[in-house]
Amino acid sequence: MKKLVISLVLVNLLAACASNKPAETTAAPTDSSAKASASKTGAASATQVAGDPLNDPASILAKRSVYYPFDVDAVQDADKPVVQAHGKYLASNPNRKVRLEGNCDERGSNEYNLGLGQRRADGVKKMLELGGAKSAQLDSVSYGEEKPVASGHEEASWSQNRRTDIKYAK
């Protein structure tokens, strides 16, 4: 539980850094500043409702793919803040749904790659649920090697194809 709380705090800080906005603090405002911040908060709330952070290219939520080393299905440390941010977003937006698409490079049999792609998608699904998303919001599927983003036959292309894509329903 402590790790989840710490992770969520880090996600908030990363999101604040990515959007060039100051991070929220937990200090209580003084009476004189409370009225001034209340009017600012009302304007900020209206802006947040109108502007979905999924549409902000500077937001951590703009990253929608998680990448893996060869023959690995565990989410890597570098991508964990991204997955945690999406989990937090889904928790606060229960009407949003996501399809998690697990993908592999061309090496390995079709059966093996379908299984590996499913394990990758399911791993991201589990992390999203730990971040607050409900299982009803999530659907995981494996495409194995069938949907490459790079068509080359070398490591540079393969590394782009070993991924889980986070696709929001429209």
pLDDT tens-place string over residues 97-156: 999 999 999 999 999 999 999 999 999 999 999 999 999 999 999 999 999 999 999 999
Higher-confidence position of 166 and 48: 166
Q: Which pLDDT does position 52 carry in this prediction?
A: 86
Angle between helices 80-92 and 110-130 (to 10 degrees): 60
Within 10 A of 146 (CB to CB), how many other CB atoms are there? Answer: 13
pLDDT the model gives residue 50:
52
User: What is the per-residue pLDDT for 65?
Assistant: 97
SS3 141: strand
Helix (H) or strand (E) holding 35: helix 31-50
Ordered by start, the domain boundaries in the chain are 60-168
- Does pTM surpass 0.85? no
Given a contact cutoff of 8 angstroms between Cβ atoms, the answer to whether 139 and 97 are in contact is yes
Q: Indicate the pLDDT class of residue 27, thresholds 50, 70 and 90.
A: very low
- Sign, Cα dihedral of 109, 113, 116, 118: negative
CA 87, distance to chain mean position in Å, is 6
pLDDT of residue 166: 98
DSSP type of residue 93: -
Domain 60-168: homologous superfamily in CATH: OmpA-like domain (3.30.1330.60)
